Amino acid sequence: MAMRITPSVLNADLSNLSGEIARIPSADGVHLDVMDNHFVPNMTFGLPVVESIRQRTEAFLDIHLMIANADRWAPAYAEAGAESITFHVEASDAPIRTAREIRAQGARASMALKPATPIEPYADMLGELDMVLLMTVEPGFGGQKVLDLVLPKIRRTRELVKTTGQDIWLQVDGGVSLETIERCAEAGADTFVAGSAVYSAGDPDQMVRDLRERAVEACRH
């Protein structure tokens, strides 16, 4: 199973995003947290900034929409050229339709769940998705610690993904570091969002490589 590291720029220099993205060439993608101060108590940037980033980098753009009314806005981010669009099921009235609209734009469709949201009610729609994102912290701010209570949900989600027979990525977001990535990988995650751990490191790209190696080692065990 391939291990992917998609660093979040939330803890990077937001005034120089293209430069910050250039510091992590070994990353498998760049995780962009879009927040609206409604779905989560924080605000970052929106569609115009993502469009600008798309013009300045060829990196795989992994958009995480932490916004209200996700059904309306998610397809626009795919149309802007991002390769992966994640919407929160808690902010969606029509998740299957939204996933299909994202895919129709040529992007990967992903559904995110907060720590307390169970995966089981959505088991039947996994085939409509290319990735499931499980929040390992309450969304809204970087620098939080992993909530270990999410680890059993990662395991259950991995088992549900297996039953589909499809290549659906399982991403975790929140508190991922050299100290925590092994637990998440052992539980079944294969795609990891790391913000503080990467951009607080002296060499962010080396940290990306170290995180990937740690995840791979965990799976070997």
Active site (catalytic) residues: 33, 173
CA distance 119 to 112: 10
Q: What is the DSSP letter of 91?
A: G
Q: Which helix (H) or strand (E) holds 50?
A: helix 47-56
Q: How far apart are CA 158 and CA 136, in angstroms?
A: 15
How many residues are there in the chain?
221
CA separation for the pair 85, 19 (Å, rounded): 22
CB 169 within 8 A of CB 132: yes
